[in-house]
Structures are given as structure tokens and as C-alpha cells.
Amino acid sequence: MAASSSLPVVGSRLGNRRLAALALCLVLLIDITTTTLVLASNKGRGRGANKGATKKGGGAHRGGGAHKGGGAHKGSGAHRGGGAQKGGGRKGSAPVTAGGKPGGVVHAGGLAPTAGGSVPAPGGGGSITYHGGPLMTGDINLSILFYGQFTAEQKNVIRSFLRSLENTENDHVAAVHRWWDVIESYQLFAGPNPGKGTPPRLRIKVGAQQSDDKYSIGKVITFEFIKRLVNKAGSGKPNTINVIFTGSQVTVHSLCRGKCYEHGLIENRPYLVVGNPEIECPGACGWPFQRLDYGTPNQVTVKPPNSNMGIDAMLLNFASGLAATVTNPFNTGFFKPGRKSDPVEAATACENIFGSGAVPGKTGKVEVDRATGGSYNAVGEKGMKFMLPAVWNPRTSSCWTAM
């Protein structure tokens, strides 16, 4: 009986051991499963591959950190197509570029570009450069002599243009003062830190205005006669440009032979001579209102903005000459060597260009006045319209156009 009574005890002990072993197995199984789950949840952390467990809006790299689409980071808050934030980025915030800086173009001196178009300079002969001499700055006095026959309307076109240079209240995209802003910017590239800061204003002050409609020294003007006219036009004020406009019946010895204005120095005083090409040389200095006598055969002329080919071409050439005189008054400013003794300057570097898309024989983009049919690329005071030359932009090393 003793032996038989011990069997249940032994079975019980065996059962307890089995239960303990089973319990241990369950504990081990749970521990292994838990560890596996924890490892699975941590997989890739700190290894650069954040797939499935990335932080939204945190700029995480998707797809193993590889940059898809040319280096743009794909994912929430990532930079796509040049820095635009998509997904986790803040709505309304500025685009961000590499380095965390605001997107868009950053300009020298913090200045936005002057409105207008940009055209490569013709000929590919390189930039005009600064040669170390002084530029005209501050208040620039103009002493004007109208030599020959001019109507009141013709004089008013020139005067309106000069007033428009400083009419910054004109917010037209092709406002004349925007053209003048480019000329002012040359001052920044003549200093020790090229392109930095804000250029001083160039204020044009029209002083003495005289007329000689009797042709007191004749209708053929040589350099010696120019000296006499400059002395006649002179006001005696410092920082003055003596400007001589000659009528359509006057021949100026140095003009119509490769240039349509002349500027220089007489007794260290800057002067500028501009002729009316209507009769004397329309095929040399009347473009784009008159076909050129040389160059491409496929020329497309346009109607002048003020319905007067002579004065509109004269105004265009005056604007070119004024830009050159201000930026290279002593032939030591901005220029590059040109043919013969004539340097390539602010406007002649962009000869025969009037709008973006210009090609030989075609002006490029210009507007047409529906009322008159006249073409223009600049708007002045009271809606006055002009055709102005493209000018060399020292910021971009290309030709700036108003349109």
C-alpha cells in the first residue's frame, strides 16, 4: 500500500515540473517576441533610412536618404524643384534653399534688379570696363543750345525726357527713370567694393537754354566751330555738360560717319553735340525709324513715337550721348576700345537694340500706341512716349532694355 500511495505524489511532482517548464518556455517566448518587436521598431534609427517611421514636417529623407530628382529632397518639408517646401513646411513662408537662406535671387548690395529685359551684347567683344577715372555724380547741370531751326514741339520732346529722368512717381514698367537707374548704378562699380550699396542719385538740372536760329556761324560745323558754340552755351557752373542740338539743315563734321553724337572735352569742360539726322543722314542715324544704309537687308522699321522721325531719332541719340558723357566724361571711365578713336561706351555697346529678342534688322520687343501707331519702349511724364537705346548693365554684363 505504501508503494501505491507514493505514485500520485510522484505524478504530481512530475506535473509541477512540466508546468514550470511550460511556464518558462512561455516566458522565454514572450521575451523573444518582445525583443524582436522592439528591434523591428528601432530598425534603421540613426542609420539614415527613416522609411515608415519618419517625423512628418521634419525634413526627413525618404527612400534611404537618396536625393531624387536631381538633388531635391523628397518627403514632407523637403526641398523640391529648387527649394519650395511641400507637406510639412509652413504655409506662406518664404521658400528655403540650401543653407536655410530665403529662396529667390540675391543681388549685389541687396538691390533688386531694375525692371526690364536683358540681351547679350552684339559682336561678343567683351564687357566695357572701368578705367579708374572720375564719373559725373550728384547734381549735373545741362547748359543747352539749340542751333538752327527747332519747333516748340520738338524742344518739348527733349525737355519732357529730361524731366522724366527723375520722375520716380511714374510706376510704369517701362518708366524712363528705370532706364536712368541703370546709368546711376555705374557709380557702384567705380568704387572699392563694386556692386555694393545704393548709388547716389544723378539729378539733371537744366540751366541756361539758348537758341540760335540764324545760323550765326554757318550751317557746316567743324571742331573749331564746336569750341565757339560750347563757349556760347556755357553757363560757368561746375559739373556742367554743354549740350548742342543742331537742326536738320546743319552738317556737323564729325557726325554721320559711324557715330550719331559726339562728346568730349573743351578746356576740361564736357560737351555733347547731337544732330538731327532727318535730312543729313537718315540712313546712318535714323534707325529704327529709317532703314540703315548698311547692315542686314531684312530690316523692319517702326513709326516714331512722336510722329517726327527727326526729333525722335535725335532724342534717341541724345540719350545715348548723355549716358556716355555721364559714365565716361574724361575718357577714363567706363568703355572699351573701339574702331578708330571712338570708344565703345554705355549705349554703343548695345547698338541698335531696343527690346528683348532684338536681332539685326529688328528692334526687339516694343509697344505700339494704338492712337498714333508710333512705337516706343519707354514712358515718361504725363504718358509721354519715347524710344530709348539699350544700355550696358554693369550688374549683369549684358544689354538692359526697358522691355
Q: Mean pLDDT over residues 373-395, rounded?
A: 96
**Helices vs strands, H then E, count in the chain:** 7, 18
Residues 6+ apart with CB under 8 A from 62: 50, 51, 54, 73, 74, 75, 78
Tell me which of 2-11, 210-219, 357-366, 383-392 is least confident. Answer: 2-11
Give the model confidence (pLDDT) of 57-107 as tens digits: 333 333 333 333 333 333 333 333 333 333 333 333 222 222 222 222 222
Q: Does the pLDDT of residue 358 top 70, yes or no?
A: yes
- Strand, helix or coil at 274? strand
Q: Where are the beta strands (DSSP E) in 39-138?
A: 78-80, 84-86, 117-119, 129-130
- Write down the pLDDT at residue 75: 35
Measured CA distances, 296 to 352, 361, 362 (Å) = 12, 6, 10
Q: Which three cell numbers stand for residue 231?
A: 563757349
**Which of the two residues, 389 and 208, has the higher pLDDT score?**
389
Average pLDDT of the chain to the nearest whole number: 75
- Write down the pLDDT at residue 223: 86
Q: How many Cα atoms are found within 13 Å in the side-chain-facing hemisphere of 273?
A: 25
Q: Does the pLDDT of residue 298 top 70, yes or no?
A: yes
Paired sense of beta strands 251-252 and 78-80, if any: unpaired
Paired sense of beta strands 375-376 and 378-379, if any: unpaired
